[in-house]
Amino acid sequence: MKSSFLKHYGATLLLLLGLVVGGVLGVTLGEGARVLRAPGQLFLNLVFVLVVPLVFFSVAHSLIVMRRSGMIGKVLGTALGVFLFMSLVTGIFTFSFMSLWNPFTRVLGEGGTMTGGVMAEGVDLGDALVSAFTVNDFALLISREHLLPLIIFAAVFGLAVALLGRKATLVEQFIAEGEAVIMKMMELVMKLAPIGIGCYFADTVGTLGGQIVGDYFEIFLVASAATAVCFVVFNSLYALFCRVPLGKFWREMISPSATAVGTCSSAACMGVNMVAARNLGVSDNIVDGIIPLGTNLHKDGSVVASTAKVLFALYFFGAAPQSFGPAVLAILLALLESVVVGAVPVGGMTGELLICAVLGLDPSFAAALLIISTICDIPATLLNVGGNVTAALLVERLAPAGENLTDSV
């Protein structure tokens, strides 16, 4: 039991311990904590050099697997529509919730004025979006500053490989094995995260003062409250729409919820999610296709955390979204970041770096956003897992054609 607990929570607990020690050192040493900036930056640099190959191999391989899975037609389209709808509802609610209970006002402008990015004042929105989604030279793709164009390129590359079939067998094998190698490298580097992020946090607290610790705690409280509403209220509404009695629905949700809290891993909950969905009347073909796909692409809990990260970055650099346009962009960026988090296993701050790239921020700020991901991990996983069971119900309700879900490719 003890070994199982440490297996699932060891990395998170070590990272939290690093944050606590870093916070204490920052408060104690004050400006003297600047000496810890170097080891913190060393860790960040190790992560940065792996991000580009990690994104390319992971996204390309995901597209190959998805294409070769045989998911076709109405059911796949319905599934992606359900994922997008649920994530959008979660994003809009979370943004509104955090506008009412705003934990970011105390950090407004702490980082100075933001320059660059789609949210910057005086920047043409069309030009900014073109710059965010594309580059005009292949060489520019090989940079962590252009993660979104790299993701698009990798997705098209993976789809092209899948469509070529046997003609690209060696390329497909190279991508699969390359992903395995890079993920193992990132896994090894992330073992240094408690020290690296702890040193970074110590420097941050020493520079900005102990107030930043309380700011992170308030963000955790607000994000947890938003997650609780989404988990209980929205999942209940979706179940009622699918004509599932609430008593039966929540009885079947006990096992996935307990597993989510116990493992802090969406992937580890895939089996219990499938059992719960089948017990709720979802056909086998839809369960077998939607639950694995949703585990990677549909993460409502990550949307909550991503919204918090985007808003934290905007407020910290004095660009609070106070009108409709910036608010929409903030929500869409949060949705995009949550998909990237699911599509790129191990993470390695990929989602946080994407936020920095789109907003035109120094990539080192990704470490500050990773802290939010860490403290919100458990409630986010709970909502991720619950949302995937509900998504399977919605797909069954909207596209009851499970026998057509798979086909030979």
| C-beta neighbour count of 364 within 10 angstroms | 16
pLDDT at 300: 93
- Give me the DSSP letters along 288-313: HHHHHHHHHH--HHHHHHHHHHHHHH
Which CATH entry fits the domain spanning 15-403: 1.10.1740, 1.20.1410, 1.10.3860, 1.10.150?
Answer: 1.10.3860
- H-assigned helices in 116-210: 125-133, 147-164, 169-189, 193-208
| C-beta neighbour count of 327 within 10 angstroms | 17
Kindly list the distances between the CA atom of residue 384 and the CA atoms of 178, 316, 369, 376, 378, in Å, as whole numbers in the listed order: 28, 27, 19, 12, 10
**Quick one: DSSP state of residue 281?**
T
pLDDT at 406: 43
Would you state the structure tokens that stand for residue 293, as one six-digit string?
């796909």
pLDDT at 142: 84
- H-assigned helices in 32-102: 37-68, 73-100
Query: What type of residue is 84?
Result: L
pLDDT at 7: 59
For the chain, the domains span: 15-403
pLDDT at 56: 86
Positions in the chain short of pLDDT 50: 72, 401-409
pLDDT at 303: 94
Output 18-22 pairs: Cβ under 8 A, ≥24 positions apart. Answer: 18/193, 18/194, 18/195, 18/196, 18/197, 18/198, 18/201, 19/197, 19/198, 19/201, 19/371, 19/374, 19/375, 21/198, 21/202, 22/197, 22/198, 22/199, 22/200, 22/201, 22/202, 22/205
> What is the per-residue pLDDT across 18-34, written as a single tens digit (0 to 9) for each?
888 988 898 888 888 88
| C-beta neighbour count of 6 within 10 angstroms | 12
pLDDT at 385: 92
pLDDT at 404: 46
The answer to whether 189 and 348 have CB atoms below 8 angstroms apart is: yes
Phi then psi dihedrals of residue 12, to 5 deg: -65, -45
Kindly list the distances between the CA atom of residue 144 and the CA atoms of 201, 279, 371, in Å, as whole numbers in the listed order: 22, 44, 20
pTM value?
Answer: 0.78
pLDDT at 4: 57
